[in-house]
Copies of this chain bind each other. A is one copy, B any other.
Amino acid sequence: MFILHHWPLDPWSRQARLALAEKKCAVELRFQRVWEPEDAFFDLNPAGLTPVLEDRSGETPLVIVQADAILAHLEETRPEPPLLPSDPAGRAEVRRLVTWFDRKFDAEVNAYLLHEKLEKRMQNLGSPDAGIIRAGRDFLRAHLDYMSMLLERRDGLAGPRYSMADLVAAAHLSCVDYLGDVPWDSFPAAKAWYERIKCRPAFRSLLDDRLPGLPPARWYADLDF
């Protein structure tokens, strides 16, 4: 049995949820406010960040902290279906793109759009800055351009098959998409890719997420958008 401590629109919590669903692990989700974690949560993760996975499937309960560790743990203990290719070149390409989204996309898109539109609202830090939102949207277009270039050559971001790279990219993009910021129609290859991902059974629970007082973009949950 698994317990995942998460916040619905945290891209890393979403990575953990997607990986658990792909690996067909039954999980109990426990809501955690990332910006104001409960005291008891620091016992699980002294850094105070989501996601944290409690893996109670074995004899000794395990606490796995942060998405990178959760994804690696699931891949190592539940290899089917694989989210990493078996050859070193394929694994390196998946990991290159995972880092691309976890670092570069995070610094250039999340830090602008999620911060202005989501974190400021949740933490009462004032109203969003239109200039910063514009800058984040420009960066987002550059990322969609790069994804389009990759997807012209292959069905998955990192290779012929769905991998951890697609999962991580979709987890990040889905948060920005909730806020209505992804100009899908200008990027048909990326749109077709995201359409395929939205149809995966593992993605379904993410599409049901609703933040009180902040409804998603009209097309957020549409499989055909």
Contact = CB atoms under 8 A, between A and B. Distances in A.
Contacts of A92: 62-65, 69, 73
Interface string A53-78: 00100101011111011001100110
Interface in A89-114: 89, 91-92, 95-96, 98-100, 103-104
20 contacts: A45-B96, A46-B146, A47-B100, A58-B88, A60-B89, A62-B92, A64-B92, A64-B95, A65-B92, A66-B96, A68-B95, A68-B98, A69-B91, A69-B92, A69-B96, A73-B91, A73-B95, A76-B88, A76-B91, A77-B88
Interface centre among A60, A73, A88, A104 (most CB of B within 10 A): A88
A72 B91 contact: yes
B65 A68 contact: no
Interface of A is mostly: helix
Given A62-B89, A62-B92, A92-B62, A69 B146 contact: no
Contact-residue size bin, chain A (C-beta under 8 Å from the other chain): 20 to 34
A61 to B, nearest CB: 9
Interface of A: 45-47, 55, 58, 60, 62-66, 68-69, 72-73, 76-77, 88-89, 91-92, 95-96, 98-100, 103-104, 146
Nearest to A63: B92
A55 B87 CA distance: 14
Given A47-B104, A100-B47, A72 B89 contact: no
Contact of A99 (B68, B73, B103): B68
